[in-house]
Structure 1
């Protein structure tokens, strides 16, 4: 692929974004038979690229998305899964959407960073505070981490559960954003940043498996786990199959854990300062060596889960979606490829980020009916498009990755410090 094709991909992505703009906000897909809804996760993720373009119509669509979602917030502060732009109907299916509230806060952060419109932020502030309070109540046992049932986030047909990496890494970024937004309104945001650091530390204690040769260090980690929460200590001490991993576990529950590689969760761990520099290198080395970025970036979870394995669910067969190497179960999602490129840039791997931007452009060019299809997801082995075309977040995250690699622009995500190397150490203050 030539440099010119990288630019062609950018121009095509802009056209998709413009086609997804509606009076109610950014639709998830430009086609009504696809996803003609403003989704609480898709729209803010799409906005990371849409806002950076400087296009006024896209800015208005980003703001409209947040208003539409906020208008349908529940009395307890929960944001809807999506709002149908044709009917105005609201969806809160599956087990809810624990990440909807977090992307709502991050969407407001991105808009304020881009526009510095404090009046818009102040008008939305009660809804943002309600969204944050609802999230606090998702920590049902007061351990400091969020708990979630199956199918409660973007991987809504996949068996991650309880203390999940994705939700809690995203929570770190949400709390950092809340601290920034509080300060923008003249309020004290220190409590949000303190909580973000606490979540960082506990993700490392629970979900990063480090068995150093120095037994004293490992013993200190176990004692920290015992003091914080007996169940966490027992999980690490008694589960013989818990061995060193080069990435964060995808989830931990009652005496069990998920050891598949969560592409989204691990990229967010890098971007939101959950991972140290050493951990970041380990994660990115594994992502490349295991082929999670091949034939295109990035596979949602790897390796795939097969029938008969512990975490196989019969609902994976629903609509023929989550068979091995498909959809969440090892399928490639181009929007995740955008986060992968951002993580490479944050790690200082500019050459690799540039190479992956080329690969992402090629993936977005593929189509069953037209070129530059910006498909929803691709088969994990063949790389062929299998989802809905003209996806807003596939286009938006390409634009975001393009600006990061080509122009060196920082994505509209909260800047977060990297952790120290010790999983049980207190992270640096922000």
Structure 2
């Protein structure tokens, strides 16, 4: 590792911590902000994903902030166990990923603090809620379109990302028997025939490809590539190491092809590809305004997702490639809408030019950068190493 590059990483780590401390006390009940200026609200999914970086930061103030956030979420949990989309608003409901993210974040918090019964009542209710989210009354979790982090993109039925979260919280909370059965169901193939027999259950494995489907439900599925879901599949051990290594090679090869076509700039992968085009059957008219090819959820480059990919590279044993991607991410997080900022930690960047398009000082961009840097530095993936073992 070149010293100069690592010096830049150390500067970025300090800047990321400064962003998180700046965002730690927002205008809503003193809960953390989602971004430095643009999003003052405490969005549950953003803050729960940020738990990974905060947990490895060693910063006690940030951990105290997460304790307050988790306790507030538990207080605002519905009687049936669902976790709201905004930490402070028990009426803002309907997200498919907030409850599994809460369970995962509590599991991480317990590991760091050794408070093994932390929020046990809330955890128990959420575990029951999640069992009722399986349409087949088995293990894979179903969701409605735009209910996960992609609020401008349709993912329906058994979504990969949400289900990798489910597997991860089952493992970190010691629910190993259910995790084993979940893994068995997920590793079934997607259904490609026009007829389903009563004994056939769909999974998320795509025939002849190394990655998992974006979503599947009965005879329908999407084979577009979801970087976040597949990265968590690698991290958690859902993807065996041989599949993980094949997947990494496939991702890098596909990104080289996108660069050759002129639709991807730089050395970091988009969150989703191939991009949906207006003539594609899965195109929705609203995408013209919010989700153009290479934008936002339709192929934008998201620093927090890139950080998950870097961690997945470490999990797959691709240490040198992980370092190279971390160097590239370090250059990207310098870019900002506000030109007075030394580090922008922006929300997302357009694939075709790599320029920032979202909000600066995004909490999850800063937090997951810290997690990626820790993974590369230690050649370990905190909280996920044990799952893979």
Aligned to 1:218: none
What per-residue deviation string (whole Å, max 9, x for no partner) do you get for residues 155-176 of structure 1?
A: 1211111011111111100111
Report how far residue 144 of structure 1 moved. 2.2
Moved more, 261-270 or 49-58: 49-58
The structure-2 alpha-carbon separation of the partners of 1:79 and 1:414, relative to structure 1 and needing over 3 Å to count, comes to farther
Rounded to whole Å, the distance in 2 between the matches of 1:253 and 1:245 is 18
Aligned to 1:326: 295
Report how far residue 243 of structure 1 moved. 5.0
The structure 1 residue matched to 2:364, chosen from 382, 393, 399, is 393
TM-score (norm 2): 0.89
Unpaired stretches in structure 2, ≥5 consecutive residues: 259-263
Rounded to whole Å, the distance in 2 between the matches of 1:297 and 1:75 is 42
Aligned to 1:43: 47
Q: Are 2:295 and 1:312 equivalent residues in the alignment?
A: no
Aligned to 1:16: 19
The structure 1 residue matched to 2:106, chosen from 105, 108, 126, is 108
Unpaired stretches in structure 1, ≥5 consecutive residues: 180-191, 210-221, 237-241, 419-430
Report how far residue 128 of structure 1 moved. 0.7
Aligned to 1:362: 331
The structure-2 alpha-carbon separation of the partners of 1:321 and 1:415, relative to structure 1 and needing over 3 Å to count, comes to farther
TM-score (norm 1): 0.81
Aligned to 2:210: 246
The structure 1 residue matched to 2:10, chosen from 7, 20, 29, is 7
Report how far residue 325 of structure 1 moved. 0.4
The number of equivalent residue pairs is: 373
Q: Are 2:320 and 1:351 equivalent residues in the alignment?
A: yes
Aligned to 2:151: 156
The structure 2 residue matched to 1:203, chosen from 166, 169, 186, is 186
SS at match of 1:257: strand
Rounded to whole Å, the distance in 2 between the matches of 1:97 and 1:135 is 12
Aligned to 1:130: 125
Aligned to 2:202: 232
Report how far residue 333 of structure 1 moved. 0.5
The structure 2 residue matched to 1:374, chosen from 342, 345, 353, is 345
Aligned to 1:184: none
The structure-2 alpha-carbon separation of the partners of 1:117 and 1:208, relative to structure 1 and needing over 3 Å to count, comes to farther
Tell me, yes or no, if the aligned pair for 1:298 and 1:336 is still in contact at 8 Å.
no
| CA RMSD in angstroms, aligned pairs only | 2.5
Correspondence list, 1:181-192, <5 A: 192=175
Tell me, yes or no, if the aligned pair for 2:296 and 2:348 is still in contact at 8 Å.
yes
Tell me, yes or no, if the aligned pair for 1:206 and 1:252 is still in contact at 8 Å.
no
Rounded to whole Å, the distance in 2 between the matches of 1:232 and 1:357 is 36
Aligned to 2:221: 257
The structure 2 residue matched to 1:286, chosen from 250, 256, 267, is 250
Tell me, yes or no, if the aligned pair for 1:297 and 1:340 is still in contact at 8 Å.
no
Rounded to whole Å, the distance in 1 between the matches of 2:233 and 2:56 is 23
Q: Are 2:25 and 1:27 equivalent residues in the alignment?
A: no
Aligned to 2:172: 177
SS at match of 1:337: helix
Tell me, yes or no, if the aligned pair for 2:265 and 2:353 is still in contact at 8 Å.
no
SS at match of 1:252: strand
